[in-house]
Each structure stands twice: as structure tokens, then as C-alpha cells.
Amino acid sequence: MKLSKVSILLIGSALVFSSGAFARDANKGKLHLQDKTIVDGKSLNPGNYTVEWTGTGPTVQVTLLQGRQTVATFPAHVSEQPTPNHDDAYGSAPESDGSRRLTVIYISGTRTALALEQNQAGQQASMSDSK
């Protein structure tokens, strides 16, 4: 009897901790910038980045990492797209100096879009596929 209680406790603990690992991966994605892009006032070079976000509700805190180094942190609004995103992609808008400003990130395999809060004031974004 005592052994079965211990077994149930161990199995239950394993399920709880494994669900936490899955939840952590759910708030993560990839981003490949094709051009030099302004993010939260910082100029990021073209390349591969990891996108992670924390928070609940429509407003979250997004962190962009290159390797293990944080390169930008900014608030964003999470929205659900009508269909799943087939690829990791992003939207950007032109600046007066010719540079591009990140406006939205689309996470592959999900219906998630992360719209940068500073850029939501009715500005038109052009979508760039980041394969």
C-alpha cells in the first residue's frame, strides 16, 4: 500500500513538471531577420534570433535572444490569427531614414502573432517572410 502511494506521487510529480516544460516551449519561437531592422530603438543585424515571451492576457513581455545573449526586450500584444502560420515571419515598416522597424512577429506552427506595442498606432506593416 505504501509503495503504491509513493508510485502515484512520483508519477503525479513527473506529470506536473513535464507540463511546465511544455508550457515554457509554447511561449518560444524563432525569428530570421533578412535586413537590418530597428527593434525597440536598437538596430539588429540580419540573422537568426530566438523569441520568448512571458505574461498572461493580451499584453506580454517579449525577449529577443541571439544565441544566449538578450538583444532586445519590449512589450507586445498577443493576437490569434485565423489560420496557423506556416513559417516564422515578421512584419516591418519603413522609417524616414530608409531603415526598417519591426512591427509584428508570426510564430510558425501556431496562430500566434506578437504585435509590438510601440508600433500599433495604425501604421501599415509590410510582411517579410523569414524562411
**How distant, in Å, are the alpha carbons of 41, 88, 119 from that of 125?**
17, 16, 9
Determine the length of the chain. Answer: 131
1 Cβ neighbours under 8 A, 6+ residues apart: none
What's the burial of 32, exposed, middle or buried (CB within 10 Å: 0-12/13-18/19+)?
Answer: middle
Q: Do the Cβ atoms of 66 and 39 come closer than 8 Å? A: no
Residue ranges with strand state E in 55-99: 59-66, 69-80, 89-94
Q: Torsions phi, psi of 79, nearest 5? A: -135, 160
pLDDT of residue 8: 55
Strands 89-94 and 69-80: unpaired
pLDDT of residue 126: 43
Give dist(CA 124, CA 88) in Å, integer. Answer: 20
pLDDT of residue 2: 61
Per-residue pLDDT of the chain (131 residues; tens, 9 = 90+): 565 655 554 454 444 444 344 444 679 999 999 999 999 889 999 999 999 999 988 999 999 999 999 999 999 999 999 999 999 999 999 988 888 999 999 999 999 999 998 643 334 344 445 54
pTM: 0.72
Give dist(CA 119, CA 102) in Å, integer. Answer: 8
